[in-house]
Structure 1
Amino acid sequence: MISRLFWAMAAAFLGFSDAGAQSAREVAAIKQVFAKVQPKSFAANREYCGYIGWSRDGTLAVSRMKRGRTDQCRPPRARHLHIIASWHTHAAYDPEALSEVPSVTDILADADEGIDGYLATPGGRLWYIDTTDMEVTQLCGLGCLPRDPAFLQGSEGPILQSYSYRDLLRRENEITAQN
């Protein structure tokens, strides 16, 4: 409780916000993280994850990363950060997986933690998961981040610029019903 109060006061004093709007600085930092992590994620066919937040000295920082499983990853604790968002990859390309758009599970996991999130896909897309509005937005498209060499463009059909939570549910149900 004291820790949350400390971080909230420090963030307000230093002018930081975690109210759902990502800054250009935050996006640039997360792109650097994904540029390094995506190749590892493809090679191992595992999700990698962590957090991004403000350190005690007021710098934007990322937590230690963790290697997860093929379809999930739980970030390591990051008590040294005022966490503003999670980040994770979607492992290597798998034609049987829905990996080019954040999943319902992705948005719910971040919402449960009370934070937003970033996702990198095998096609090299960068998504922002906004849990205040319960929607996901593609910050940059196909190939803006490292791309899995095995990735087949179009295998999941058209990919929109953004989806609401309901859109994600509908999309997952429609694609599952087709298979």
Structure 2
Amino acid sequence: MKACWILALVPTGLLAQSIDEEALARAIFQDLNPVSIRANVEYCGYVGFTAEGELAYSQPTRGDEGSCLSDDPDNLELITASYHTHGAHSPDYSSELPSGTDMEGDEDEGIDGWVATPGGRLWYIDTTDMITRQICGIGCLPSDPNFVSGESGIIEQSYSYDELVIKLDE
């Protein structure tokens, strides 16, 4: 796994999702998703700004098979988003979508979120509007070789919180 990646960026107002933050999320998950899949556990952390105004991320915290609670970051002055993986593919979990709990946790912290799935999808959670949208689909991030496409049914490009909860109850 690479050390913390830093992009020079001075915040001039908090945008819901910057292109630089998306690039950073993709870079985090390029390294972290394979580790998460091999260990079959979630990893999580935070994205934000250092005291110098640089976009960065915290070191990942190892969770368990179905959850992860991030350590407080030492390197971030301002947290803008969480990030976490969903571990290995399992027919017992709806791991190709963020969960309602994922959205609620980010909302409670007042931040947005990034989620990587075993199928290699990247999701963005916007807690202002309580929607999640698929940034890129199957295989855009490293994926689990045991992933079965279609096993979770039709996956839409975005879901409101209410739509997501209904989808996950199906």
Does the alignment reach a TM-score above 0.5?
yes
Q: Identity percentage over the alignment?
A: 50
Q: Which runs of structure 2 are paired with 1:28-177 in the superposition (5 Å)?
A: 28-81=23-76, 82-174=78-170
Return the alpha-carbon distance in structure 2 between the equivalents of residues 172 and 136 of structure 1: 13
Return the alpha-carbon distance in structure 2 between the equivalents of residues 70 and 161 of structure 1: 25
Residue identity opposite 1:114 in structure 2: G
Residue segments in structure 1 that go unaligned for 5+ positions in a row: 1-13, 175-179
Q: Which runs of structure 2 are paired with 1:16-27 in the superposition (5 Å)?
A: 16-19=12-15, 21-27=16-22
Which of the two has greater helix per residue? 1
TM-score by length of 1: 0.86
**CA-to-aligned-CA distance 1:118-140 (integer Å, 9 cap, x gap):** 00000000000000000000011
Return the alpha-carbon distance in structure 1 between the equivalents of residues 13 and 90 of structure 2: 36
Residue segments in structure 2 that go unaligned for 5+ positions in a row: 1-9
Return the alpha-carbon distance in structure 1 between the equivalents of residues 32 and 119 of structure 2: 14
**Which structure is larger by alpha-carbon Rg, 1 or 2?**
1
Once the two structures are TM-superposed, the CA of residue 95 in structure 1 deviates from its matched residue by 1.2
Once the two structures are TM-superposed, the CA of residue 54 in structure 1 deviates from its matched residue by 0.6
Residue identity opposite 1:28 in structure 2: A
For residue 128 of structure 2, give the secondary structure of its aligned residue in structure 1.
coil
For residue 99 of structure 1, give the secondary structure of its aligned residue in structure 2.
coil
Residue identity opposite 1:164 in structure 2: S
The total of aligned residue pairs comes to: 160
Return the alpha-carbon distance in structure 2 between the equivalents of residues 77 and 85 of structure 1: 13
Once the two structures are TM-superposed, the CA of residue 173 in structure 1 deviates from its matched residue by 1.7
Residue identity opposite 1:32 in structure 2: A
Once the two structures are TM-superposed, the CA of residue 25 in structure 1 deviates from its matched residue by 0.8
Return the alpha-carbon distance in structure 1 between the equivalents of residues 37 and 26 of structure 2: 16
Which residue does 2:6 correspond to in 1?
A: none
